[in-house]
Amino acid sequence: MRLLVLYARSRGLFAAFAVMLASTVGIWALDNRDWRILLLALAMGVCAMSAGLGSPDLKLDRTGALPWPLWRGTHLVVAAAVVCGLTTALQMWDAGMILRGAVGLAGLTGLTATVLGSQLSWTLPVLWTAVCVVAGPTDNTILTWLVQSPESTGALLTATALGVLGLAAYAIRGPRGIS
C-alpha cells in the first residue's frame, strides 16, 4: 500500500486525477451530447494522464528492484480505464465508442511517451483528436477513427493497433530518457 501511495505521489497521480475529475464535471455541466464534446472529454483525459507517464528522476526509479514493465503496463491500462470509466459514467455517449477512443488514445499517449518523452506525450493524441474534430467523420476511417460510428471496422482496428502497440512500447521500453 505504502509503495502504491509513494508511486502515485511520484507521478503526480492525485493532481492528474483531480484534473480528470474537474474536466468530467465541466463536461457534465455543459450537458451536450455532441460528438465534439466527447472528443474534448477524451483529449482532456489523456492530457491529464500524460503527466504521470514519467517521473522526476527516471534513472533513479530504474535502480529500484521492481518489475517495471509490469508497473508501467498496469499504469497505462489503469489510466485508460479511469478515463473511460469517468467518461462513461456521464452516460452521454455510446460506451463502445468511448472505450475505443480511450484505448486508442491511451495507447498513442504511451507510444508518444516512448518517442518524445512523458512531458510531450500529450502532443500526438491531442493533435490527432483535433484533426478528427475539424475533419469530422470522413470516409477515411483510419485518419478519423475517433469519430467513426461504433460499428466501423477500420476505426476499431486503428484503436486496437494503437492500444496494443502503445502498451507494448511503453511497458517494455518505458518513457524516453529512462536509459
Partner 1 sequence: MKALKIELRRSVALWTGGLVVLIALGMLLGMSGPWNRGPDGWTSEWTSLAVWQRFMLNMVWPLALGAGAWQGRRDRRAGVDELMSTMPKTAFQRAVPPVAALCLSAVAGYLVIFLVGAVQVLGNTSYFDADWLPVTVVGMLSLVAAVLIGMGIGRVLPYLLTAPILAVLAFAATTLALVATPSSGSDIEGTVSNEFALMTPVLKGQYNPFLKVAADVSAVQVLWFLGLAVTGFGLLTFIGRKAQLLALVPAVAAGLFTFFLLPSHDGVYERDEAASALVCADGGPRVCVSRLHEDDLGEYVGQAREALTKLAKLPGGPTSAEEARVGYFDVDTVPSSGGTAYFFTDFWNGKDIEQTLLAGPARFRCENGMTGYDKSAARRVVVASWLNGESKPVSRKELTPQATDIAGKLWNEVRALPADQQPARVAALRAEARDC
**Could you tell me if 55 and 61 are in contact, meaning their C-beta atoms sit under 8 angstroms apart?**
yes
Four-point Cα dihedral 102, 104, 110, 116, nearest 10? -120
Quote the CA–CA distance of 123 and 109 in Å, as a whole number: 8
> How many Å from the N-terminal Cα to the C-terminal Cα in the chain?
28
Quick check: 4 binds partner 1 (CB under 8 A)? no
**Hey, which residues between 100 and 129 contact partner 1 (CB under 8 A)?**
119, 122, 126-127
**Which CB atom, from 30 or from 172, has the smaller least distance to partner 1?**
30
**DSSP 8-state assignment for residue 94:** -
Closest CA to 38 of 131, 107, 101, 122: 101
Quote the CA–CA distance of 142 and 154 in Å, as a whole number: 6
- Window 13-32: contact mask with partner 1 (x via CB under 8 A): --xx--x----------x-x
Quick check: 92 binds partner 1 (CB under 8 A)? no
Q: Which three cell numbers stand for residue 154?
A: 477500420
Exactly one of 13, 24, 38, 40 binds partner 1 (CB under 8 A); that residue is 40
Question: Hey, how many other C-beta atoms are within 10 angstroms of the C-beta on 96?
Answer: 13
- Window 43-82: contact mask with partner 1 (x via CB under 8 A): xx--xx-xx-------------------------------
**Which CB atom, from 14 or from 70, has the smaller least distance to partner 1?**
14
Exactly one of 8, 12, 81, 88 binds partner 1 (CB under 8 A); that residue is 12
DSSP 3-state assignment of 138? Answer: coil
Nearest approach, Cβ of residue 42 and partner 1 (Å) = 10
**Which CB atom, from 132 or from 167, has the smaller least distance to partner 1?**
132
**Interaction site with partner 1 (CB under 8 A):** 12, 15-16, 19, 30, 32-34, 36-37, 40, 43-44, 47-48, 50-51, 119, 122, 126-127, 130-131, 133-135, 138
